[in-house]
Amino acid sequence: MDHLIDFEPVGRRGRCPRGETLMDCARQLGVGLAGLCGGIGGCGQCVVQIVDGDVSRPTSEDAERLSADALAQGYRLACRTIPLADCKVRVPLESLTSSQRTQVEGEETAAAPDPLAQVYIVTLQPPSLDDLRADAGRLADALREQHGVSATHVDLQVMRKISPSLRACVDPDSGEWRVRAAIREGEVIGLLSPDASPLGLAVDLGTTKIAAYLVDLTHGRTLASSGLMNPQIAYGEDVVARISLAEQQEAKRTLLQQLAVEALNQLASELCARVEASVSQIVDAVVVGNTAMHHLLLGLPVKQLALAPYVPAVASAVNVKARDLGVRLAPGAYVHLLPNVAGYVGGDHVAMLLATQIEEKRGVVLAIDIGTNTEICLSSDGVLTSASCASGPAFEGAHIRHGMRAASGAIERLRLLEDRTEYQTIGGGPPAGLCGSGIVDTMAQLFLAGVLDQHGRMRDHPRVREADGVREFVLVDEPTLGGRPVETRRSAIVFTQQDVRQVQLAKGAMRAGIELLLATGGRKIEEIDSVIIAGAFGSYIDIANAITIGLLPRLPLERFRQVGNAAGMGAKLALISRTQRETARALASRIGYLELAAHPLFSTTFAQSMLLG
């Protein structure tokens, strides 16, 4: 009897033989768990959190390394813990030997900096018997006189600091007060010391990954960027799972909200630390995400998102005080969320379209952001129609036997040479599984070699074998020494008939979206002038292989452009420029939405789109 262990957010799953520790299991599955002491509970580095399932009781080593509180929350030393049932295990970032690849780079689009939150240096005369103006009024007068800026109100948290803050900024020579005031639409949202430059935070809050950019608002320059796995993953891989969890209990909705907020705070702190700034210098933030992530971040109810006809609680752009969400920025700073288009087409899609400047392009343009949910926009001479396809998490490695996320050890490139495979792993170490781009390569290579037919049936091949009645293609053999299997825990890495079906479902959904958008717009594939591919997965896939399996339409390669994290770039544009923020709003209201599931041709198109080639 063994147990199925699911390591998150790495996304690696596998069976752990009875009596073995979580550390053994992690090693066997290629999850890079930290550990210095050789698994004797001595170093305390292999801390994991048991999210679901029974494990052995805490040992004395656990009790020594972890607080009672931590133990109660399910934290354990992996090397001291034996699963007693199937388990879901969260591996905190600090327990991983190498971080996951989280795409943050994207093609930058230029925009003149004109941020909504502006910062002004003002000089004030301290009060005297002849000048008894209140501190806030004195500041407002100085802003008007010295900058022509009208500051009609002061955020409560700033108000609570204004008197000591002004008195702490005395110019030693003149005795005057000098301070930087951050103003947003007539509201004083922060007071900075005269030498602190104003910063902004742009965030692409993905279902799987979160990318954040710290931006110098004066020059519109990105100072630092960083990615993080969305910690909500431990509570559901896709939006549907998280929506269903959030609707079970108010407390779960709050938990998911807090996890997202903590991730934002962690990213903001980390980025600020990197450039030796303080989070209180961040005077504005823009977050983009799909509608579910948007709702979960705001703590909005999501029940109506999961029930037909799937309407959002809020679609228009939202401005909320960062503190109302629990996000720590300048005391009165806001978080701006770009508008959603529909229940499954969110602000991240709008941001992607903004960054790719799709509305300025002539002809027929297809913009695709491939993910657990894939959003596609067809621009037909400037008429925009978007659709959402439930492509599922197969390209994130989920529901694939040896699938995993793009972490160290993931096979990201693969070629089949006769009966031999060649591959490349992230980090270059021994292979642990397949990530999205590796999955596309595998599918394409198997199809080209005739191992898979058009319907995805796996045919005979020297590397094809059967296990438990299911055919599988051996990508990586069990390690051998002189031809004999060696005593090792690592198993072969295979791609099964079931894996093929999962990929077919994912690519079928996506391709059906493309077909139906084209049909609705009265366009044919060959009319497409360019295809913009955004998102992490889309950046790493081999376009030719994606065309081979029919994931992407058969067009000359030069018509494709892989733009990286365009949603993040769009968030940055809306952060640094009022005009861009307004363009995003206008874009969102111009986008027509095509509900694929309601389309009369959906099922036939979907079935057709599952074919390979």
Where on the chain is the footprint of a second copy (CB under 8 A)? 127-129, 132-137, 140, 153-154, 156, 159-164, 167, 298-301, 303-304, 308-316, 318-321, 324-325, 340, 342-343, 593, 595, 598
**Nearer to a second copy among residue 131 and residue 360 (C-beta):** 131
Closest separation between CB of residue 603 and a second copy, Å? 16
Closest separation between CB of residue 302 and a second copy, Å? 8
**Nearer to a second copy among residue 28 and residue 290 (C-beta):** 290
Spatial CB neighbours of 71, under 8 Å, sequence gap ≥ 6: 58, 62, 63
Cα angle 513, 516, 522; round to 5: 140
**Nearer to a second copy among residue 4 and residue 311 (C-beta):** 311
In angstroms, the first-to-last Cα distance of the chain is 41
**Nearer to a second copy among residue 81 and residue 340 (C-beta):** 340
Is the CA virtual torsion 267, 268, 270, 275 positive or negative?
positive
Question: How much of the chain is in helix, strand and coil states, percent to nearest 5?
Answer: 35, 30, 35
**Strand runs (DSSP E) across 185-296, as ranges?**
187-192, 199-205, 209-216, 221-229, 282-289
**Nearer to a second copy among residue 67 and residue 152 (C-beta):** 152
Tell me the backbone φ, ψ of residue 153, rounded to 5 degrees: -145, 165
**Nearer to a second copy among residue 162 and residue 217 (C-beta):** 162
Closest separation between CB of residue 258 and a second copy, Å? 14
Cα angle 540, 551, 452; round to 5: 105
Closest separation between CB of residue 154 and a second copy, Å? 6
Closest separation between CB of residue 259 and a second copy, Å? 17
Which H, E and C letters describe 286-339, residue by residue? EEEECHHHHHHHHCCCCHHHHCCCCCCCCCCCEEEEHHHHCCCCCCCCEEEECC
**Nearer to a second copy among residue 316 and residue 488 (C-beta):** 316
For residue 224, what are the β-bridge partners? 214
Closest separation between CB of residue 613 and a second copy, Å? 34
**Nearer to a second copy among residue 351 and residue 416 (C-beta):** 351
Give whole-number Cα distances, 225 to 99, 213, 219, 442, 571, in Å: 15, 4, 16, 32, 13
Closest separation between CB of residue 156 and a second copy, Å? 5
Closest separation between CB of residue 594 and a second copy, Å? 11
Residue 125, classed as helix, strand or coil, is coil
Residue 340, classed as helix, strand or coil, is coil
DSSP H helical ranges for 14-155: 22-28, 60-65, 68-72, 135-147
**Nearer to a second copy among residue 481 and residue 598 (C-beta):** 598
Report which secondary-structure segment, H or E, holds 124. Answer: strand 117-124
**Nearer to a second copy among residue 312 and residue 456 (C-beta):** 312
Tell me the backbone φ, ψ of residue 62, rounded to 5 degrees: -60, -50
Closest separation between CB of residue 513 and a second copy, Å? 17
Closest separation between CB of residue 305 and a second copy, Å? 9
Residue holding tokens 């779960």? 252
Residue 494, classed as helix, strand or coil, is strand
* Calpha distance 6→187 (Å, rounded): 48
